[in-house]
Amino acid sequence: MTAPPFALLAGRVFDGEAFLSDRAVVVRDGCIADLTLAPPAGLRVHRLPEGAILAPGFVDVQVNGGGGVLLNDDPSPEGIARIAAAHRRLGGTTALLPTLISDTRPAIGTAIDGVAAAIAAGVPGILGIHLEGPFLSSQRPGIHDPARLIPFEAGDVALLTGLGARGLTLVTLAPETVPLGTVAALRARGARVCAGHTADDGTALRRALDEGLDGVTHLFNAMSQLGPREAGAVGVALADPRLFAGIIADGYHVGDAQLGIARRLKGPERLMLVTDAMSPVGDPEARRTFTLFGRTIHRDGDRLAGADGTLAGAFLTMAGAVRHMAARGGASLEEALAMASLTPARFLGLDGRLGRIAPGYAADLVALDADFGVLGTCLGGDLAWAR
């Protein structure tokens, strides 16, 4: 049964580009019907607290886990639903790509099947899948298991794009590890492709750009750096305006000065916030450790790392990333909010229905308090108040 229409009334509404004062967002049939000064008479009105912000729901293209679940360990629709629910409740994320860390070919197929089943079952907010690896550089593995970094073979393009039209696919690979034409072949089958975990000096990355490379995964981390003569992956990513770049704004992965440099060079139109979140985010048991391919990962405050200090994803929500980017990363609040909503929607080709508060867009919204805590979300017209 279709829910009756309602309106959300807020003193501050971020429409995807700018703040508007004292607006009512009218929701009907899961979509935004109007953005107006006053709600129509007779409509049920939900008034946000003073000082609250109503913004487009956040879009996260890199979510390894949450709610105590890691996609690699539990790619079932139920596990995926727990991941999505944790990030919606705590971080205001209303759309995401569950992300598989480098794993075996059978595990890739199982994860794709699980995401397809979750989408078919109507698990809210699941857009598709992000396959981060296993075609990565052994010189830049980060926390990925080196034993699971494998050579690219015939048939892998079909494997990686097995989700097909059932959802979106994002593939992260090191361009120097795959044959010429791989990026073009993946793009021809509908996937988006990012460079990541790469030791390339910039040569292979530029070739991949000519084949349609879309962006880079977690800028600065697990990639070749900008040098005095070699651009490296960081240099190419910062210099080329065609590339999107995900970035982890948690105070551990990227320094605040580097966040500011990336914002100035890429602009909020191409720089997008990601969480790279792991299972402890929203874990109901509040465990301080978890395992990744037999390796114990420890949580120390908001920092996740292996015993040797290697960072292991992040204990981060999108609301937290927005907070950090606006407070310490040199971004205005408008820029930080756009980097968490409109920019990733644009990267995914979904900016015609996500990332804005405007008539005709999906009613995917987040309400934030003055400290960027999540008051509640609206996902396709379904309201869920956190408090």
H-only helix segments in 226-283: 232-239, 256-266
Note the pTM of the prediction, 2 decimals: 0.97
Q: Range(s) for CATH 2.30.40.10 in the chain?
A: 6-55+356-385
Domain boundaries 6-55+356-385, corresponding CATH code: 2.30.40.10
User: Is residue 276 among the annotated active site residues?
Assistant: yes
Q: Which long-range contacts (CB under 8 A, 24 or more apart) does 378-383 make?
A: 378/8, 378/27, 378/57, 378/94, 379/57, 379/88, 379/94, 379/124, 379/125, 380/30, 380/124, 381/3, 381/27, 381/28, 381/29, 381/30, 381/31, 382/3, 382/30, 382/124, 383/6, 383/46
At the topology level, CATH places domain 58-347 in TIM Barrel (3.20.20)
Q: Range(s) for CATH 3.20.20.140 in the chain?
A: 58-347
**What Cα–Cα distance (Å) separates residue 99 from each residue in 169, 261, 286?**
10, 27, 21
Q: What is the distance between the alpha carbons of residues 268 and 234, in angstroms, rounded to a whole number?
A: 17
Choosing from 74, 200, 276, 364, which is the catalytic residue?
276
Q: What is the pLDDT along the chain (387 residues), one digit of tens a residue?
A: 467 899 999 999 999 999 999 999 999 999 999 999 988 888 999 999 999 999 999 999 999 999 999 999 999 999 999 999 999 999 999 999 999 999 999 999 999 999 999 999 999 999 999 999 999 999 999 999 999 999 999 999 999 999 999 999 999 999 999 999 999 999 999 999 999 999 999 999 999 999 999 999 999 999 999 999 999 999 999 999 999 999 999 999 999 999 999 999 999 999 999 999 999 999 999 889 999 999 999 999 999 999 999 999 999 999 999 999 999 999 999 999 999 999 999 999 999 999 999 999 999 999 999 999 999 999 998 999 876
